[in-house]
Amino acid sequence: MPSPNLPGKPVADPVFKRLTLLGVGLIGSSIARIARLRGDIAAEIVVNARTRQTLDRVLQLGIADRVELDPAAAVQGADCVMLCAPVGAFADLAARIAPHLAPGAVLTDVGSTKQSVIRDVGPLVPAGVHFVPAHPIAGTEHSGPDSGFVELFQGRWTLLTPVPGTDEAAIARIEDLWRRCGAQTERMEPAHHDRVLAIVSHLPHLIAFTICGTADDLADESRQEVVNFAASGFRDFTRIAASDPVMWRDVFLNNREALLEMLQRFMEDAQAMARAVRWGDAAYIEDKVERGRKIRRSLIERKQA
């Protein structure tokens, strides 16, 4: 995919002097790669991960100026700290870094759930540090520092969910960072974010994991046929189901209410579809398929397919 505004020499001053990424998988390493390439996001990039192995790989890839195994050491002197680990790790990470955050620094994140992040991290943020929760709506089923790429956020949305009273300049700097990553930004109320993401992302993943489990539970000979003859329908589910188990465990457990509400609605609609199939209600089935096609067409028109 072409990314005309990504490579090239810096055209503006860096948004931040030192950007620290806590977690460097698909999302963190994509940000590091873009920041490296553009030069106008951060003058210095410091990376922390849970394991030495990941940090060694980051050094080999050349996508950070410095790596630190200790998150507290990683955030020292940073004017932007971004949590890029699974959301279930945020509370512990925030507790470890809080005393070491520089006054005036912006603390942000990329977590897929927003109310839980505000609940877990918000109370730990020291006075004088600005907390700007955010979520890039872009991803693949791959994880780890090798999976990142510079086009990941190109033309996609990043949603910011700051709580009322957050420093406007800090929010504007995070918006600037994401636009330089190629994303469009929008501000959203955290509870609304979690409901929207429950239907567009979390429920589809839950269905994909479940359908793959159902296929795997089939008798041996049928299971082999599923693998041999997987047409695009099942194959598309397996792509989504190949996602990182820890990341998705944390997303489901941290967006519990919204996910369960959407699942309940989905199960009612699936029951209605089952009834239509049972009673041969052709018009109902056709109408549902047509609505699906319309949604797909509108995604293509908005270049979000």
- Binding ligand NAP by CB under 6 A: which of 3, 6, 36, 50? 50
Which structure tokens are listed for 98? 């809080």
Name the maximum alpha-carbon separation found in the chain: 67
Nearer to ligand NAP, 181 or 279 (CB): 181
Least distance CB 14 / ligand NAP (angstroms) = 23
| Count helices and strands in the chain by DSSP H and E runs | 13, 9
- Binding ligand NAP by CB under 6 A: which of 14, 133, 139, 190? 139
- Binding ligand NAP by CB under 6 A: which of 14, 25, 162, 182? 25
- Binding ligand NAP by CB under 6 A: which of 14, 133, 136, 182? 136
Q: 278 forms bridges with which residues in the sheet?
A: none
* 247 touches ligand NAP (CB under 6 A): yes
* 111 touches ligand NAP (CB under 6 A): yes
Nearer to ligand NAP, 109 or 276 (CB): 109
Question: How far is the CA of 293 from the CAs of 270, 298, 299, in angstroms?
Answer: 17, 9, 10
| DSSP state letter for 199 | I
Q: Looking up tokens 């780890």, which residue turns up?
A: 144
* 82 touches ligand NAP (CB under 6 A): no
* 112 touches ligand NAP (CB under 6 A): yes
| DSSP state letter for 99 | G
- Binding ligand NAP by CB under 6 A: which of 14, 86, 133, 190? 86
| DSSP state letter for 180 | H
Nearer to ligand NAP, 197 or 262 (CB): 197
Q: State CA 219 to chain mean position distance.
A: 36
Least distance CB 48 / ligand NAP (angstroms) = 7
d(CA 293, CA 288): 9
Which structure tokens are listed for 213? 């489990």
* 154 touches ligand NAP (CB under 6 A): no
Nearer to ligand NAP, 68 or 79 (CB): 68
Phi, psi angles (nearest 5°) of residue 17: -80, -50
In 3D space, the residue among 26, 35, 23 whose CA is nearest the CA of residue 62 turns out to be 35
Which structure tokens are listed for 277? 């199939």
The residue range among 10-18, 26-34, 178-186, 221-229 that interacts with ligand NAP, by the rule CB under 6 A, is 26-34
* 28 touches ligand NAP (CB under 6 A): yes
The residue range among 35-43, 78-86, 187-195, 212-220 that interacts with ligand NAP, by the rule CB under 6 A, is 78-86
Q: 68 forms bridges with which residues in the sheet?
A: 48
d(CA 78, CA 48): 12
Binding site for ligand NAP (CB under 6 A): 23-28, 49-51, 54, 84-87, 89, 93, 110-112, 135-136, 139, 143-144, 244, 247, 251
